[in-house]
Amino acid sequence: MSVRLRRVICGVAIVAAAVTTLLAATLSAPASAAPVTALLDPAAVKALIDGRAALGLPAEVADYGVDEQSGRLVVELTGSRTPAVDALLSGVDPNVLDVRTDAPAPRHHAAAVKGGDTIISGSRRCTLGFAATARGRTWLLTAGHCTRGSGTWSVETAGDVLTPIGSQARTASAGTDVGVVPVTGSGVQVRGLVGSVAVRGSTPAAVGSPVCLYGSTSGRVCGTVTGLDRTVNFEGTIQYGMTATSICSAEGDSGGPYITSSGQAQGIHSGGGTGRGCTSYLTPIGPALSAFGLRLLTS
């Protein structure tokens, strides 16, 4: 091959490389090089921004969409406009945009957990009692015969959706039918409520006082306190220091909270008897909390 021919081939290669570089630069040029006017087709602007959003949205953007009346792209920001937002909107005709600030930041709502909710672990179905705290951690009280040997617990919310609460539940020593589940699920928001009643304290109710049980099977059922400091024989399992009530309960109510109309927590449901009327038994809230060194969560 002659020297002249080699020079020609080399020159062609250089020109081709330059054209390729120029073409790549043109294709990757910022959108500002060609402003997008979409007043006649507002969906085109949104499609453009959607394509950019697929690579990541600035944290300041709450939402955006086309306003049907004005035909402009409304962009809601949680704060002021930043360079990242400018980059997202680059190349779009300002007349097409309506950028607004100080919008609330959207968040997914966590499962709101409260006393009386149904909690499930495998084939076990019990009731959530009260929420309590200790050492910067939140715990949920229920019956000890529910937590003994259990695995991961979930709470049943609207639409029979199960949201994980946590695992590694603890059970009090024999004679006290109380267990606790640590709240480790990220989608759980614990409230100091029993049903719609705010938990205000834990003043014990006297014999004859009205009290209500919230069970996952029975719902809200009410009666009166009929006895204090009872030793109860649950089919050979002895429980001490229990409070007796005239409330009728059912399977699945175990662990449910007893509370007064003024929001005073009374205790955790253990079981009941049938026959002449109804009798239900609860572990008083004081011993239930002290068994684990917990503090009642109030509203």
Catalogue the active-site residues.
Answer: 145, 177, 254
Strands 257-259, 118-121: pairing is unpaired
Q: Is 55 left (phi over 0), alpha (psi -120 to 50) or beta?
A: alpha
C-alpha separations of 136 from 133, 172, 200, 261, 273 in Å: 7, 20, 20, 29, 38
Using DSSP's 3-state secondary structure scheme, residue 35 falls into coil
How is residue 259 written in tokens?
A: 């509370």
Amino acid at 266: Q
Amino acid at 88: L
C-alpha separations of 220 from 30, 207, 244 in Å: 63, 20, 17
The string of DSSP letters for 38-54 reads -SS-HHHHHHHHHHHHT
How is residue 211 written in tokens?
A: 């009290």
C-alpha 63/C-alpha 85 separation (Å) is 12
Strand partners, 233: 238
Count how many residues are written for the chain.
299
Amino acid at 70: S
Distant-in-sequence contacts of 52-56, Cβ < 8 A, 24+ apart: 52/88, 53/88
Nearest to 89 by CA among 115, 57, 118, 119: 57
C-alpha 35/C-alpha 128 separation (Å) is 58
